[in-house]
Structure 1
Amino acid sequence: MHYRELLDAEGRLRPESQWLALLQERGIPRDAAILAYCTGGVRSAWLTAVLVDMGFDAKNYPGSMWEWSAGDRDRDPLVLPAKQNPG
């Protein structure tokens, strides 16, 4: 989910009911643990702060894609195969 989906046309935060609907559409329940990431951790930090303020169990991956792309992609794949995915 891109952070801009959570903003209205004027750049203001959409109402919580719209956030919840977007998360639900993507199959993310209110009690799910959410890990946010972006390119360098700035936008995901904002998203994490908003989600935590709304009562979600959200964490930020501050190194985000820059850190991940510098590592071992075979050891730490971006997407786990379904049989290994804990979700």
Structure 2
Amino acid sequence: MQKSINPRLVAGFVIAGFLVISLATQQEGMIGYQAKHAARRAVLGKYRSDRMYQEEMRQKSIEGFKNNPHRKEFLKKHPGFLKAHPHLR
């Protein structure tokens, strides 16, 4: 007499397999997240906080705009730009 496979048992193994796979991929995602933030902290090493970094990048971008040789042409094409962005004057 041949035994038949219990369908509940098969369904249980399939669900368990999916759970194991999802946990493994989720763990991998967390490791990637931690690595990305560790790299970011290494880059931001000379700054005490993210805000200080953002402020310095903002200042660099303002200086870059003010020193841009094509600035006058740009402002002719976009006359309301300085009214909308007074910090770039």
- The TM-score bracket by the shorter chain reads under 0.3
Which structure has more helix as a fraction of its residues? 2
Which structure has more strand as a fraction of its residues? 1
Structure number with bigger Rg: 2
**Higher RCO (CA 8 Å, separation ≥ 6 residues):** 1
Task: Return the TM-score normalized by structure 1.
Answer: 0.22
